[in-house]
Amino acid sequence: MIQPRVLKGFRDFLPETEIQRRGIVKILEEQFRLFGFVPIDTPILEYTEVLLGKGGGETDKQVYRFEDHGGRDVAMRFDLTVPFARFMAAHVNELYLPFKRYHMAKVFRGENTQRGRYREFMQCDFDIVGTDTASADFEILTMMHDSFHALGVSGVTIRLSHRGIFNRFLAHRGIAKDSAEILRTVDKLSKIGSDAVLELLEELSGKENARAILDFIGAEGDFSAVLEKMEDLAGGEDEDTRRLKDLKAAMARCGIQESFVLDPSITRGLDYYTGVVFETFLDELPQIGSVCSGGRYNNLASLYTKQELPGVGASIGLDRLMAALEEIGSSGRKEAPVEAMVLCMDEEGTGDFHALARRLRAAGIRAEVYPDPRKLGAQFSFAEKKGALAAVLLGEEERKAGTVTVKDLAARKNHGGLSPEEAIKLVRELTKKERN
């Protein structure tokens, strides 16, 4: 006998959780499609060279990498960004630019599982590639806003900043050469606190610069006040600050400015970003951190093509989002596996039970036939366990008389002597009541 275990960091999705996951995917997908985004997919397995590029990063050690039957060095994808860059380089001539895609799929990282992280998890990425405008930045931001609303989240705050202004500020102070290290340090703010960050920055750039950096990222207040301060510290107005002003105007015009906060401490650790950067927090659950992050980059696929592909995009960790929605009770209506259970009164009735179930389904009702001629008590309790709202009885006498009995399982009340049409109507009413 083999033990039916799964690998550490991997897990099964039982129906209740999988229905919930698919429900979230469906809502997001409907929103994305409303914005004119289209889905793509890429292989889970790719050439290691393609996925790791020049390599050397932290990710490399976590990658599931092996030699395939043909002696090729292959790896399982660890994010959806790298495959998208490869995809754009390979297919840019078959597509239209600007290209707006989303991709929801599993990725794999052999991470330390102690922090509650999984080694197989589902990522959801969306990007607009081939344009660098306030309009595209705003489309990503407004789609994030609308998607969380569609998920039933009551309040969401998108904190944004602009990497270009930060870089200009560093250049203005003559410390642009250390920008990568400074970014990594600043990114630790929420984890290690401002005192520790200050200390690290002092070592790196001297006392005065460290203070100035903390001053820059610590700017607080309304959008305009913070923007003014950033502008001052960076050496005046420029394209980058104008971009933020345009975004603010569009937010106001669409009446969604309440959900956005200009926060210069948002820098996103990665070197990759060049323009706006943003993180998303659930108002009811800010402590779990950002549930959707991203930003603007000026060159998506430089590893694979000479064609410059500027873009803006964001990523949602679906597993974390699911857990968060569950916690704040916004994970949507729990969908019962079945609405109407046609009971098995005897084996002779099999065809009749199924014929009635077909009619229920044709009326849009989730209906199944209990397959075994068990005691009715067992069948009723099975129906309730599966969340059915109505049990449909079609005994020998009823089959002769052409009538149907419907039991309202919530009210524990029988409705007998119904015509099939009446029975379907009643079941529809019982299930509709529940749906609202």
- Least separation in angstroms between residue 289's CB and its own copies is 25
How far apart (Å, rounded) are the C-alpha atoms in residues 379 and 394? 13
91 lies in the binding site for its own copies (CB under 8 A):
yes
Per CB under 8 A, the list member of 115, 191, 306, 435 interacting with its own copies is 306
Is 80 annotated to bind ligand?
A: yes
Question: In terms of CB distance, is 61 or 207 closer to its own copies?
Answer: 61
45 lies in the binding site for its own copies (CB under 8 A):
yes
Question: In terms of CB distance, is 10 or 221 closer to its own copies?
Answer: 10
How far apart (Å, rounded) are the C-alpha atoms in residues 362 and 427? 13
276 lies in the binding site for its own copies (CB under 8 A):
no
Is 59 annotated to bind ligand?
A: no
SS (H, E, C) 229-290: HHHHHHCCCCHHHHHHHHHHHHHHHCCCHHHEEECCCCCCCCCCEEEEEEEEEECCCHHHCC
Q: Which residue in 298, 302, 303 sits closest to 49, CA to CA?
A: 303
Binding residues with its own copies: total (CB under 8 A): 112
12 lies in the binding site for its own copies (CB under 8 A):
yes
Is 272 annotated to bind ligand?
A: yes
Residues 92-131 that bind its own copies (CB under 8 A): 94-96, 98, 100-101, 106, 108, 110, 119-120, 128, 131
- Least separation in angstroms between residue 415's CB and its own copies is 21
| Angle, CA of 220, 181 and 132, to the nearest 5° | 65
Per CB under 8 A, the list member of 27, 42, 328, 332 interacting with its own copies is 42
Helix 15-34 and helix 134-150: axis angle, to 10°? 140
> Which residues have CB under 8 Å from 311's CB, separation 6+?
127, 128, 129, 130, 131, 296, 297, 300
Q: Give the contact letters, 208-247, x = binds to its own copies (CB under 8 A), - = no.
A: --------------------------------------x-
- Least separation in angstroms between residue 185's CB and its own copies is 29
Residues 327-356 that bind its own copies (CB under 8 A): 337-338, 341, 344, 347, 350-355
How far apart (Å, rounded) are the C-alpha atoms in residues 36 and 100? 7
Q: Quick count: other Cβ atoms within 10 Å of Cβ 262?
A: 23
Question: In terms of CB distance, is 289 or 387 closer to its own copies?
Answer: 387
Is 109 annotated to bind ligand?
A: yes
Are 210 and 222 within 8 A, CB to CB?
Answer: no
43 lies in the binding site for its own copies (CB under 8 A):
yes
6 lies in the binding site for its own copies (CB under 8 A):
yes
Per CB under 8 A, the list member of 27, 47, 285, 434 interacting with its own copies is 47
3 lies in the binding site for its own copies (CB under 8 A):
yes
Are 16 and 334 within 8 A, CB to CB?
Answer: yes
Is 287 annotated to bind ligand?
A: no
Side-chain half-sphere CA neighbours of 252 within 13 A: 8
How far apart (Å, rounded) are the C-alpha atoms in residues 434 and 14? 23
Q: Which residue in 122, 125, 129, 105 sits closest to 42, CA to CA?
A: 105
Q: Which helix (H) or strand (E) segment is 56 a member of? A: none
- Scanning 91-99, 192-200, 281-289, 415-423 for contacts with its own copies by CB under 8 A, the matching segment is 91-99
34 lies in the binding site for its own copies (CB under 8 A):
yes
Is 408 annotated to bind ligand?
A: no
Per CB under 8 A, the list member of 159, 168, 173, 366 interacting with its own copies is 366
199 lies in the binding site for its own copies (CB under 8 A):
no
Q: Which residue in 340, 380, 342, 379 sits closest to 363, CA to CA?
A: 340
Per CB under 8 A, the list member of 115, 375, 385, 413 interacting with its own copies is 385
Question: In terms of CB distance, is 31 or 167 closer to its own copies?
Answer: 31
Are 159 and 278 within 8 A, CB to CB?
Answer: yes
- Least separation in angstroms between residue 242's CB and its own copies is 10
Is 73 annotated to bind ligand?
A: no
Helix 163-172 and helix 239-253: axis angle, to 10°? 150
Q: Which residue in 135, 382, 394, 402 sits closest to 250, CA to CA?
A: 135
87 lies in the binding site for its own copies (CB under 8 A):
yes
319 lies in the binding site for its own copies (CB under 8 A):
no
Report the binding-site residues: 79-81, 109, 123, 127, 268, 272-273
